[in-house]
Chains A and B, each alone.
Chain A
Amino acid sequence: MKVEDKLALNKFDVDRDVHITVNDVVCVECELKPCVSVCPAECYVIRENHMTFSYEGCLECGSCRIACPKGAIDWVYPRGGFGICYQYG
């Protein structure tokens, strides 16, 4: 089962405000890009040597924030009430 199909089962209330931003200038200099492998929701994808990021499926675990060796990720929680809303947990 693909991650995107699993995320489609989850309940999200996606905010218009983006809660994670990636600094492209810093990110491009990073060779390792550990964010790609540590994100359990596959929010970080490399397309044509360029990092693309989508916040909509974020599970708010915080792994990318801790793993980023360059400090390129500005990470806060979504606004109150928005984001992932677990029904089981």
Chain B
Amino acid sequence: MEEFDAIVVGAGPAGCAAAYVMAKAGHNVLVLERGKFPGAKNMWGGAFFGPVMNELFPGFWEEAPFERFVTRHAISFLTEQDILSIDYKSDVTEPAEKKGFITLRAKFDKWMSQKVEQAGAIVASGLAVDDLIVEGGVVKGVKVGDEQFASNAVVLADGVNSLLSEKIGLRKAYSPHDMKQGVKEIIRLPREVIEDRFNISGTAGVAMEFIGSCTRGLPGGGFMYTNLDSVSLGVVVQLSALMDTQIKASDLIEDFKNHPAIAQLIKGGQTAEYSAHLIPVSGLKMMPKLYDNGVLVTGDAASLVLGTGLILEGANFAVASGMAAAETVIEAHRKEDFTRDELSNYEKRLREQFVLKDLQTFSRAPQFLENERIYQLYPELACSMARKIFSSDGKPRENTFKVLRKSLGKQASMWKMASDMIKAGRAL
């Protein structure tokens, strides 16, 4: 049986980060990826912030395939006929690494895996790990069909469904309340059309989030990102809400595309790809055991996703957790100790840096974000107030407070709304 210093399952951002750091430190690393190539199974909304990636690959934007920098960020409330947006654009020149990067995963993950190979690791694609080799409660390697590969250190970066961490008892089965389903289309449009419609040029790009009618009031939201010559457009919805209402995400994305404000932006575009993925959204509540004898869990497999309202941030957490797992394995090799006591340093590392600190800070967010008023009542309220304020029926005007009170009607009291705002302040 071939033996490695470390085996990494999955060549996404978490797995590549772990493998890269370990290979750089001189370790003999095997990465197993079930896709035909790294990135073939991966999708996301569209963008990540630069600093963590820059720590892993300094100056990465010079060579990494990315579509555009995020220079404009818009958040919009939607009803079936209206849109009310907060549109943020800044001319403050930030250093490149601090910017947001819009990328396509099939290209970006492939590039990351090439960096891993250049650092000396073996990246084997088209190989799905079926099981872990466990002897006396200690993980000793992996099984791929009839083949076995041995290692004292196995890093699980096998994504949101992580069948392997469930198999060895590091986590229980997931509940539909802990998951959001994202569906997305890549819609191709000529580059100049995108730049005209979104008012951007060069490497500038736009990130947009939507809340309200795009999910028919179900917990979740819509998103749109400008790529170089396409847009990524999709919706993200709580899985349990899809079950309860029997609404399909595939219908929601069609409605979203047909919303007057969206239809205008994608007019004439051709769909090139349709994708779907789950997102673990319950934070610390659903986090599995992060380590055991001979094994560490990273990225989506460890449910390391931060939801702070409209934005779900996972890629940075994946990369940071992969790096922390790698440092833990490197130290374990130095001490020749792969017991769970030694590997518990992985969780300590995550607690010292932003990964578990952020999840702790926003630990009340997942529960707060289940409040249906956020997705139904408040977007309608915001739009109907805007409609009243920006139109005139020729009669004397009422003050804003009265408009708000009338718009609220019987749907919720002012007290309820004030209490939601206080809760939002605490949770977000």
Contacts and interface: CB of A to CB of B under 8 A. Distances in A.
Interface of A: 1, 3, 6-7, 9-10, 13, 32, 34, 36-38, 40-42, 59-63, 65-67, 76-81, 83-89
A66 B239 contact: yes
Given A40-B248, A60-B41, 18 more contacts: A9-B272, A10-B273, A10-B274, A10-B275, A37-B242, A37-B248, A38-B176, A38-B239, A40-B183, A61-B181, A61-B276, A61-B278, A66-B175, A66-B239, A79-B128, A80-B127, A81-B127, A87-B272
Contacts of B144: 80
A85 B275 CA distance: 10
B249 A40 contact: yes
B248 A66 contact: no
24 contacts: A6-B185, A9-B274, A37-B247, A66-B175, A67-B176, A77-B128, A80-B34, A80-B125, A80-B126, A80-B127, A80-B128, A81-B36, A81-B125, A81-B126, A84-B275, A85-B35, A86-B39, A86-B40, A86-B273, A86-B275, A88-B106, A88-B186, A88-B272, A89-B106
B353 interface: no
Contacts of A41: 250, 276
Contacts of B175: 66
Given A62-B161, A63-B278, A89 B104 contact: yes
B369 to A, nearest CB: 19
Contacts of A9: 271-274
Contacts of B87: none
B106 A87 contact: yes
A83 B42 CA distance: 12
A77 B243 contact: no
B281 to A, nearest CB: 13
Given A86-B43, A88-B106, A66 B272 contact: no
A88 B104 contact: yes
B122 to A, nearest CB: 15
Contact of A40 (B160, B181, B271): B181
Nearest to B247: A37
Contact of A77 (B34, B44, B179): B34
A42 B109 CA distance: 28
A88 B186 CA distance: 8
